[in-house]
Amino acid sequence: MTCQFSTSLSPITSQPDLRLRGVLKNNEEMPFFIRLKSELGSTPDANGAFDIIVRANKA
């Protein structure tokens, strides 16, 4: 499976990982977009769930 990230929907600017600019305040939200592409014949996860792992530096 291939995963591409983008901070904009139109156009999608494909990035291998998601890097947000600036510092988010506590409980602040920022939209982002993910495009998933799987190979023909791959076995899908029935519920369509996936994990997002976040790494951050303390400001």
Query: Is residue 1 a part of any domain in this protein?
Result: yes
List the domain range (segments joined by +) for residue 5: 1-14+30-40
Return the bridge partners of 37, or none.
2
What is the value of pTM for the model shown?
Answer: 0.54
Q: Is pLDDT above 70 for 46?
A: no
Mean of all residue pLDDT scores within the chain: 76
Total count of domains within the chain: 1
Query: Is residue 48 a part of any domain in this protein?
Result: no
Burial environment of residue 18 by CB neighbours within 10 A (0 to 12, 13 to 18, 19 or more): middle
Query: Is residue 59 a part of any domain in this protein?
Result: no
Range 17-46 average pLDDT = 76
Between residues 10 and 1, the one the model is more confident about: 10
| Poorest-pLDDT segment among 21-25, 27-31, 53-57 | 53-57
Query: Is residue 5 a part of any domain in this protein?
Result: yes
Query: Is residue 50 a part of any domain in this protein?
Result: no
Range 8-24 average pLDDT = 78
Query: Is residue 10 a part of any domain in this protein?
Result: yes
